[in-house]
Structure 1
């Protein structure tokens, strides 16, 4: 029987990562394309998923047996803080339309992409899959976090009421080729890459917002793509799985900036604007469940992944610099 996998948000960072892995891994391998599979990477041009009618038409057009749901209204720290209602409402609409249409069309399986921002602000670390609903999320991404949190609630409700095979993945901070490098909307790594490039080009100081002290776990988009493919084929539980490097691989924003300076070849002065907000100081997540289920996984070293991301940005600057969030 043929398998049709619809990837929503297919032109975004993670969607492009999955497309890359499917097209470059050996056919028939654990992460490579299989003979009976058709992969469809849908974009906002295929329909606005905030609209239920357009979501229905997309499903009727492609008739997916499986869905990897990546489409979202996304942005960095400052955009999240500024547009809490927009992030809440748009993402609730997108997620509800995708899940309910998948149920109506009898889609066999849906994996939705969440974020570690769904976790409570005040919580005992490390984060694990059982702590999602144990307190309110951090104020800085309140709208986005609540919308994403509701996907887990919906997955359980669809399973209990209708027996649907809906689940979710919780990646830590993702970066890689095809990221959104827009200076105002981007997440921390692509934003800093762009700022560092401009500082080098214009011979101006490289200034990083915040203190540089917060710690984060970053996962390379091509690694994350492999983990989504694994979930698609080998994981059938409603409970979410954290997709992340280990807790021992946290890096500070200053370490990220140092690595970007090296990768870009910037030799000027750089400093930290401590008047800008840092967001959460750290939110380490455990990948024990993932590694136990998979039997281990070899992650790309951070510096190697960062070099590849910088190279893609430099090679595609004219399009990368105006990157828009994927829907």
Structure 2
């Protein structure tokens, strides 16, 4: 079986690649296709068409995306919606043209309304306004879901979508300005521990609750969903016209998260929470009951995952971390 992984150098795509390589090494009949962005520009329709027609993959995993934190989303909204729409349209359509019958598209929990009922079920999609700061990215990811649904309805393909919660792990973005909350905290607490800083200030009250999923769990879940037989998937996702949430099903307060990072990095000083800074949504938790019914649950605890991520962080040089 020939499998193309789009975005194999990203955090999630890389984790999926490692698992498929392990299966390959254990004797499974798998041929893996990868291309860097320099080798294949996924926003270029002709280039993607030529690649798909030439390579003829049996399955496609679409893990490529333009991603970033709140600052990046606010600064470059046009790039976020354009590049993600183009990648999804090109990969999904050209996969169809090349005869690919099974495809997995990875999205994001930001597809759900800003004020969605907690925990957020798949049925919450398109039931209310999105969070304004990442709306362009969210709309692109919703379009990806609807592309998969539409090709399934019209052409009988088997294109699936998984929506992960906040991801972290080896390969994460630790850039001092563009990273998400968990890698940002790891970097800050590490620096404070090394410098002997007396205190670290965390934005907000520390009360908001967030859910986190280790990227290795996400990779396992993605391949689990990809490997489900058509009948099982259809029964659980209403004739393949839906998507599946992927998360740990457990959330923690930002205070608890910061305390865990402090413990892992060896920071002994004081944690200060600046309540004058915005908290954001009070809670963001995914309803993962659908995936649980199908037979998959997360296996990596938050503290174990942070320890592994911190160990990976310590092995990287500054140039590598700033480039991610």
Counterpart of 1:178 in structure 2 is: 171
Show the counterpart of 1:12: 10
User: Counterpart of 2:261?
Assistant: 260
**Segment drifting more, 262-271 vs 198-207:** 198-207
Quote the residue 2:116 is aligned against. 123
Contact 2:186/2:261 (<8 A) preserved: yes
CA shift, 1:70, in A, is 0.8
Report the alpha carbon displacement of residue 125 of structure 1 after superposing the two structures with TM: 2.2
2:160·2:226 contact (CA, 8 Å) conserved in 1?
no
The answer to whether the aligner puts 1:144 opposite 2:137 as a matched pair is yes
Q: 2:206 touches 2:273 (CA, 8 Å); kept in 1? A: yes
Task: Tell me, yes or no, if the aligned pair for 2:204 and 2:275 is still in contact at 8 Å.
Answer: yes
Return the TM-score normalized by structure 1.
0.89
CA distance in 2, matches of 1:34, 1:87: 39
Distance 1:80-1:276 versus aligned 2 partners, 3 A rule? farther
TM-score, normalising length from structure 2? Answer: 0.90
Asked which structure has the greater RCO (Cα within 8 Å, sep 6+), the reply is 1
Superposed CA deviations along residues 159-190 of structure 1, whole A, max 9, x for unmatched, are 22222221100111111111111111111111
Cα offsets for 1:228-273 (capped at 9, x unmatched): 1111111544321111112xx1111111111111111122333234
Q: How does 1:1-327 map to 2 (within 5 A)?
A: 3-24=1-22, 27=23, 35-204=28-197, 205-234=199-228, 236=230, 237=234, 238=240, 239-246=242-249, 249-294=250-295, 296-324=296-324
Equivalent pairs counted in the alignment come to 314
Q: Please give the root-mean-square deviation of Cα atoms over the aligned residues, in Å.
A: 2.0
- Evaluate the alpha carbon distance shift between residue 14 and residue 235 of structure 1 in structure 2; reply closer, same or farther with a 3 A threshold: farther
- Offset at residue 307 of structure 1 (A): 0.3
When structure 1 is superposed on structure 2, of 276-285 and 120-129 the one drifting more is 276-285
| Alpha-carbon shift at residue 13 of structure 1 (Å) | 0.9
CA contact (8 A) 2:101 2:157 kept: yes
Post-superposition Cα deviations, 1:292-322, rounded to whole Å, max 9, x if no partner, equal 112x435111111110000000112335421
Q: How far is the alpha carbon of 1:33 from its aligned partner?
A: 6.0
Per-residue deviation at 1:34? 5.6
Gaps of 5+ in 2: 235-239
Which runs of 5 or more residues in structure 1 are unaligned?
none
SS of the residue corresponding to residue 272 of structure 1 reads: strand
3-state secondary structure, aligned to 1:10: coil
Question: Contact 2:202–2:272 at 8 Å: present in 1 too?
Answer: yes
94-103 or 208-217, larger mean C-alpha shift: 208-217
